[in-house]
Structure 1
Amino acid sequence: MTRFRVSDLAIGIFCGPVLCCWIALASCCCPSRLRRRHTHSEDRRRFERRQYMAPRPLPVRPPERALTIPPPKRFVSSASPPSRDTEKIDVITDVSGKGGRRGRTLDQTRSHLMRLPLELRQMIYRAVLGDSTMHMVLKENKLGHLRCRAPSAIECPLGFNGRTLSRECCWGTVDSANIWMSMTGDAAENTDGGIVGMLRSCRQVYSEAIDYLYSTNCFSFSDLDCLRYFSSTILPQRFALIRTLDIEWCLTWPIYDPIAQSLLLTTPALYPPHDEATWEETWRIVAEMPNLRFIRVSLLHFDGFRDARCEGKMLAPLRKVTRPVRFEVHVSWEGAEVRDAPFTLIRPPMGERDSEDDEW
């Protein structure tokens, strides 16, 4: 019995320092993630729920949609002289040469709006639909957009709910899978920015006004998947009109850092959208946006990057975004200056990082 106790004591003396060193190393690298290995199933459940709730991409469609008035060469009307109440039928010829009925366009000469010059109508469309910040949110099997209540996205309060970034003052909160939840608890609450009614009122109004929705608004994203889904659920020609982006993203764990990821003791170490593949795909989409002129990115990470090379790999996909005239990247950690990049990297002033961490 004495020998057994002596051997146990010897094993404890030998293994104790090794265990203490592992705990100390994990504490230095991830003070808030020591129990991450026990949350593997929770991360997987969140990922699976996000996949189940993901919006479906657009199917293969004809080049013209029912709400858009076709070009004049494809516009066919009755042989009788049109009157104010004449109904005009739009016919579009498909690949097989057969015509199909796509929609109806009624004569709008009685409308006071349509009697105005086109220039005045365009000013009205922009005042109603544009010059705002639209917060894009993930919903159950679809996306929503809410008009920001602040003058700009920079002035809109940004918070951290323990899992991700949120703007509760504007669009409520999110659940554990970052699916939007209204402040009233009503999942069916409208998230259309208050603009769908006007666009659906008339085909001519839709055709004249729809471009202002995408070209004059700033689209704000706090989830990388939300941006990816947005690019695949609207028509490519609409997505190409976007000129201004605002992206906020919380890096929950160092990407491109195999040593840090090995501490998680899970396979895979990171689930989408927090993995490297989602990060690179997001910036590939942004880099291909032809009319993008201004983009502001805010990246939050509590621990920063232990290795400057890992930060360089993280910033490498952003270097492919060369079209914007103004490209700002705000990060919450300190580090060296980044040179020869198409973006301006803005770090917190020295000594200010601790106060920011306390606030989050």
Structure 2
Amino acid sequence: MVHASSIALGILCGPLVCVYVTFAACFCPSRLRQSGESDEKKRFERRQKMAPRPLVLHRQRALSIPLPDTECMNEGRKTLDQSQSRLMRLPLELREMIYRNVLGDNTLHMILKEQKLGHLRCKASNALECPLRYNGRTLGRESCWGPVDSANIWAPKSGINEPTDGNIIPFLRTCRQVYSEAINFLYSTNVFSFQDLDCLRHFSATVLPKRFNLVKKLDIEWYMTWPIYDPTAQQLLLNNPALYPPYDEATWEETWRIIANLPSLKFLRVSLLYYDGFQDPACEKKILAPLYKVTQAPVFEVRVSWDGREITGAPFRLIRPVPNDPTADDDSW
């Protein structure tokens, strides 16, 4: 009798087990490796180790011009008179035009480095012409971003010594007066481009709030990892946690809280890629819900890689793929 019950149970449960194994093997093969640490955990631990340290707010900046009542506290620093400089003899309006030409009106691709951030000037004439590619885990513009390792940390090939400051930092370090007069143009006139949510979060934590609040233009590209906002599928993965940052719901929502608090934001473009379309519109609704908090940007565009219904009442313009578009490239989405 017991033997017969076991056979019957096997007949009933066998197909379910096969479906689960097949589904996991197709869409998430790494989840089937239960022995040892998962690749996701290793990548998360490396990213934590390499994360930039948050800015110390109550520290006098080395490039800041000391105030008169703090000169005695900064005896180790000297601010020299720059009246002999031809640049400083120009009217402030002309100097500001020069600063903007040197520092601004570019797209800066923000990258994660070892315990710090870097930025690369986009090599295209504008952000729309920068080629978009998917490298297997994240969205990337290889022609501008350069190579990254499995943890999305910038990793140039042997023999390549490409600077990651966009050739901007040396100019700002020429003298304190140039820094004080020019630094605002760096944040207020450039498009800051991100392909990693942690990179944006670190950026907000490693610059002065008054500088970060000057940012007017953001361009974000992000690969949505399965099964975000799908608790049933997360339980099937048998991992704890099911999703590691920055691919989890908490990081996604925190990113949009940061963006929603940018007072000067004028332009925001978001490109989201998912390995497949959403069968359940409720999942899409949860993913897009944090974006509704961003109401200050006059231009707010969200491009997604999946089909679905039109939405109304959103503070952004949702752009879905055009079906059977003969002008679309094979790699476009």
Q: TM-score, normalising length from structure 2? A: 0.90
Taking structure 1 as reference, are residues 25 and 273 closer, same or farther at Cα in structure 2, changes over 3 Å only?
same
Per the TM alignment, residue 321 of structure 1 is displaced from its structure 2 partner at its CA by 0.6
Per the TM alignment, residue 356 of structure 1 is displaced from its structure 2 partner at its CA by 7.6
Is structure 2 residue 110 aligned with structure 1 residue 114? no
Match of 1:304 among 274, 277, 280: 277
Q: Which secondary structure state, in structure 2, belongs to the residue aligned with residue 263 of structure 1?
A: helix
Is structure 2 residue 155 aligned with structure 1 residue 181? yes
Match of 1:57 among 50, 54, 57: 54
Per the TM alignment, residue 349 of structure 1 is displaced from its structure 2 partner at its CA by 1.4
Segment drifting more, 159-168 vs 191-200: 159-168
Q: Which secondary structure state, in structure 2, belongs to the residue aligned with residue 212 of structure 1?
A: helix
Is structure 2 residue 176 aligned with structure 1 residue 203? yes
Taking structure 1 as reference, are residues 165 and 11 closer, same or farther at Cα in structure 2, changes over 3 Å only?
same
Q: Which secondary structure state, in structure 2, belongs to the residue aligned with residue 44 of structure 1?
A: helix
**Where does residue 43 of structure 2 map in the other structure?**
46
Q: Which secondary structure state, in structure 1, belongs to the residue aligned with residue 77 of structure 2?
A: strand
Q: Assess if the C-alpha contact under 8 Å between 2:197 and 2:255 holds in 1.
A: yes
Taking structure 1 as reference, are residues 155 and 358 closer, same or farther at Cα in structure 2, changes over 3 Å only?
closer
- What is the correspondence of 1:62-141 to structure 2 with a 5 Å cutoff? 62=59, 65-70=61-66, 74-75=67-68, 91-92=69-70, 99-101=73-75, 103-141=77-115
Q: Which secondary structure state, in structure 1, belongs to the residue aligned with residue 204 of structure 2?
A: helix
Q: Which secondary structure state, in structure 1, belongs to the residue aligned with residue 150 of structure 2?
A: coil
Partner deviation per Cα, 1:51-81 (whole Å, 9 max, x = no partner)? 011100012424x5231225xxx33xxxxxx
Rounded to whole Å, the distance in 2 between the matches of 1:228 and 1:143 is: 11
**Where does residue 274 of structure 1 map in the other structure?**
247
Per the TM alignment, residue 33 of structure 1 is displaced from its structure 2 partner at its CA by 1.4
Taking structure 1 as reference, are residues 324 and 185 closer, same or farther at Cα in structure 2, changes over 3 Å only?
farther
Taking structure 1 as reference, are residues 99 and 181 closer, same or farther at Cα in structure 2, changes over 3 Å only?
closer
Per the TM alignment, residue 16 of structure 1 is displaced from its structure 2 partner at its CA by 5.0
- Which amino acid is the alignment partner of residue 68 of structure 1? S
Q: Assess if the C-alpha contact under 8 Å between 2:268 and 2:299 holds in 1.
A: yes
Segment drifting more, 177-186 vs 43-52: 177-186
- What is the correspondence of 1:174-253 to structure 2 with a 5 Å cutoff? 174-184=148-158, 186=160, 189-253=162-226
Per the TM alignment, residue 12 of structure 1 is displaced from its structure 2 partner at its CA by 6.2
Q: Which secondary structure state, in structure 2, belongs to the residue aligned with residue 204 of structure 1?
A: helix
Segment drifting more, 206-215 vs 153-162: 153-162
**Where does residue 347 of structure 1 map in the other structure?**
320
Taking structure 1 as reference, are residues 295 and 105 closer, same or farther at Cα in structure 2, changes over 3 Å only?
same
Is structure 2 residue 293 aligned with structure 1 residue 320? yes
- Which amino acid is the alignment partner of residue 54 of structure 1? A
Give the root-mean-square deviation of aligned CA atoms: 2.6
Q: Assess if the C-alpha contact under 8 Å between 1:167 and 1:173 holds in 2.
A: no
Q: Which has the larger radius of gyration?
A: 1
Q: Which secondary structure state, in structure 1, belongs to the residue aligned with residue 128 of structure 2?
A: coil
Q: Segments of 4+ in structure 1 off by > 2 A?
A: 10-32, 98-103, 183-186, 355-360
Taking structure 1 as reference, are residues 185 and 288 closer, same or farther at Cα in structure 2, changes over 3 Å only?
farther
Q: Assess if the C-alpha contact under 8 Å between 2:57 and 2:208 holds in 1.
A: no
Q: Which secondary structure state, in structure 1, belongs to the residue aligned with residue 109 of structure 2?
A: strand
Is structure 2 residue 31 aligned with structure 1 residue 36? yes
Match of 2:266 among 293, 298, 310: 293
Is structure 2 residue 137 aligned with structure 1 residue 163? yes
Q: Assess if the C-alpha contact under 8 Å between 2:24 and 2:32 holds in 1.
A: no
- Which amino acid is the alignment partner of residue 105 of structure 2? D
**Where does residue 331 of structure 1 map in the other structure?**
304
Match of 2:116 among 122, 136, 142: 142
Q: Which secondary structure state, in structure 2, belongs to the residue aligned with residue 46 of structure 1?
A: helix
Number of residue pairs aligned between Structure 1 and Structure 2: 329
Rounded to whole Å, the distance in 1 between the matches of 2:25 and 2:219 is: 28
Partner deviation per Cα, 1:13-57 (whole Å, 9 max, x = no partner)? 753563334443665688321442317621111111110111000
Q: Assess if the C-alpha contact under 8 Å between 1:92 and 1:102 holds in 2.
A: no
